[in-house]
Structure 1
Amino acid sequence: MPARVTILDDYQSVALSSADWSGVAERYEIDVVTSHLEGDELIERLASSEIVVAMRERTAFPASVLDRLPALKLLVTTGMANASIDVAAARARGIVVSGTTGSGREVAELTMGLLVALARNVVAEDRSMHEGGWQHTIGTRLEGKTLGLVGLGKQGQWVAELALAFRMHVVAWSPHLTPSRAAEFGVQAVSKQELFETSDFVSVHVPLTESSRGLIGADDLALMKGTAYLVNTSRGPIVDAEALVMALMVDTLAGAALDVFDVEPLPAADPLRSLSNVILLPHIGYVVHDVYRDFYGQSVEDILAFESGAPIRELSA
């Protein structure tokens, strides 16, 4: 039997068409999984896989999972960081973990698109038009409004650049952000309280870590204007989901746009699905052809490099 490469979470069946896998196919049987697997079902599917390609953080690989995969030799993740993989545990078990380059400005572009969609009631007006209606909402312009960025890393900087082009006033907060650093990007550093009190739109751009989990809670949402909106294209658990649902239900804030969730795919019975003042997207911030070509093309490179005995783009623990 040939050795097996398993590609996980290829929801749209695009992995094989996004790159040239012929070099891998000469050496391995390729198994593509188009649904999300967990628990015993995941272990059973990967039991004979020497190489696994994971899409972002869709599937977790803690030590407890790695212990049940004795055949695994190479774990490839798209991106050069993955909070769902215990890299140290993998190394201790002799498993190489390699990555690919990350995504680019497409997440920032989507963030601005969501700001426009919220400000101009795009979803509601589109639905009305399809149902035979005509204009029935009144929007607001972005120019002159305040955008509050929670986090001013790479993605936050790109969003700031686009927002400034819209002539918005941009403020930012993160635990270690200094006024001088914010000023480099045309942004004003403010306190966390001031950001939530004064922003017309709040957009989340910090990575998910133990310290950022639940970073935005009920007290922060309560500070927001009744006309303000929250946008999260980073990671779901950064915002307290229960507090956000309650704030949306009682109109503490005008609405939200979410591309990320605590549990993905979002369960069918999740209360967010029943709210009319929230735009829900299925974690598509990085899902563009350009990124998939890089992700899967470099996954092939990682596999072939490992096969030649010279692994590349190894993740640090």
Structure 2
Amino acid sequence: MAKYRVVITDYEYKSLQIEQDVLAQLDVEFVTSAQCRTEEEVIELARDADAILNQYAPISARVIQNLNNCKVISRYGVGVNTIDLDAATHKGIVVANCTDYCIDEVADHALALLLASARKVSLLDAYVKQGVWEYKKAIPIYRLREKVLGLVGFGKIPQNLCLKAKALGLRVQAYDPFITSEIASQYEVELVDLDTLCQSSDFISVHVPLNPRTQGLISTKQFSLMKREAIIINTSRGPLIDEQAMITALQNSHIAGAALDVLEYEPIRPDNPLLQMEQVILNPHVAWYSEESEQELKGKVAQNIVDVLSGFYPQYLANSQVKNSAALKERSARL
């Protein structure tokens, strides 16, 4: 009988070979047969697990209360909004993620959405394929140089995007109450409040984690402050934007467009008005993806589990307050 039982609640990958190879460092039974969607399914699967790999299935307070042996929950991705962090911390369960596997990919995708929106690439492509060869269908298009990119959040991904945007001649400002003036100065970025950012930006790109404080961060007030030429871009999490407020702003031409890799409900519902708006670009939550980033993610989230089951805090610890109750060593203790 294996020493540890590791379960994966759900996944959308073709293969789990990378995870299996990493977990092979330990004596592990790796349970991969489930695709949980509900709390009840997760409880049934993971009740006696030592570790959980999670993608989208809900790891709520109720689920966590029913975990008898769990020491670590490792999530595919940067965000941990599928997991009740407070409940896990209270029970002494380590929550881990992977914060650096797709920095270039998401920054590149946000920039691609910005360029496609600004130059109306998708709109013109659709017209040409309909037999309409007429640039005036895209009027007006404005020069990018000296336009203002407003970054909502200024962590690793928007910092990466900032450097790429500046190379195109965009001016960059950011709203992030957790970023110091020293970091902003390093990137030659002006720190502003959210209202100022909404009022003065030509492009607004959202890059903050989803939690109760940030849900609906961009809503009716913020859209009312934006320029009519403004385009909003989201490659983070859909519920950061009040979707109905955005739809209303688009319908009333209070903003010029949107480029969205994430939505409030995924997959998008067939009756969503965004599907009928030619000024909106929609992608299926793909900004994180490259062949390299997927491989990196899979290896790192599995290594989180190996670290904890081996007695160490993982490199990507999402709930640092668990250190008050978990008896693990720091990674440096290996040396």
Return the TM-score normalized by structure 1.
Answer: 0.84
Residue in 2 that maps onto 1:31: 32
Distance 1:250 1:98 in 2: 42
* SS in structure 2 at match of 1:105: helix
* SS in structure 2 at match of 1:152: coil
1:301/1:193 CA distance change after superposition, 3 Å: closer
Residue in 1 that maps onto 2:123: 124
Q: 2:173 aligns with which of 171, 174, 180?
A: 171
Distance 1:143 1:246 in 2: 29
Q: Which has the higher mean CA deviation after the structures are superposed, 59-68 or 77-86?
A: 77-86
* Unaligned ranges ≥5, structure 1: none
1:18 is displaced (CA, Å) by 7.2
Q: How many equivalent residue pairs?
A: 314
Distance 1:26 1:131 in 2: 59
Q: 2:261 aligns with which of 218, 238, 259?
A: 259
Q: Which runs of 4+ in 1 moved over 6 A?
A: none
Residue in 2 that maps onto 1:62: 60
1:98–1:311 Cα contact (<8 Å) kept: no
Residue in 1 that maps onto 2:105: 106
1:286/1:32 CA distance change after superposition, 3 Å: farther
* Matches for 1:138-149 after TM superposition, within 5 Å: 138=139, 139-149=141-151
Q: 1:82 aligns with which of 75, 80, 83?
A: 80
Q: CA RMSD in A?
A: 3.1
Distance 1:95 1:193 in 2: 38
Distance 1:25 1:178 in 2: 41
What per-residue deviation string (whole Å, max 9, x for no partner) do you get for residues 241-284 of structure 1?
22111111222111101122233343344333343322122222
Q: Which has the higher mean CA deviation after the structures are superposed, 40-49 or 59-68?
A: 40-49
1:219/1:309 CA distance change after superposition, 3 Å: closer
Letter in 2 for 1:108: A
Distance 1:187 1:195 in 2: 12
* SS in structure 2 at match of 1:20: helix
Residue in 2 that maps onto 1:52: 52
Greater share of helix residues, 1 or 2? 2
Q: Which has the higher mean CA deviation after the structures are superposed, 286-295 or 226-235?
A: 286-295
1:12 is displaced (CA, Å) by 3.8
Q: 1:185 aligns with which of 187, 192, 209?
A: 187
1:289 is displaced (CA, Å) by 2.0
1:148–1:196 Cα contact (<8 Å) kept: yes
1:186/1:287 CA distance change after superposition, 3 Å: same
Residue in 1 that maps onto 2:160: 158
Q: Percent identity?
A: 33
* SS in structure 2 at match of 1:141: coil
Residue in 1 that maps onto 2:283: 281
* Unaligned ranges ≥5, structure 2: 322-335
Residue in 2 that maps onto 1:6: 7
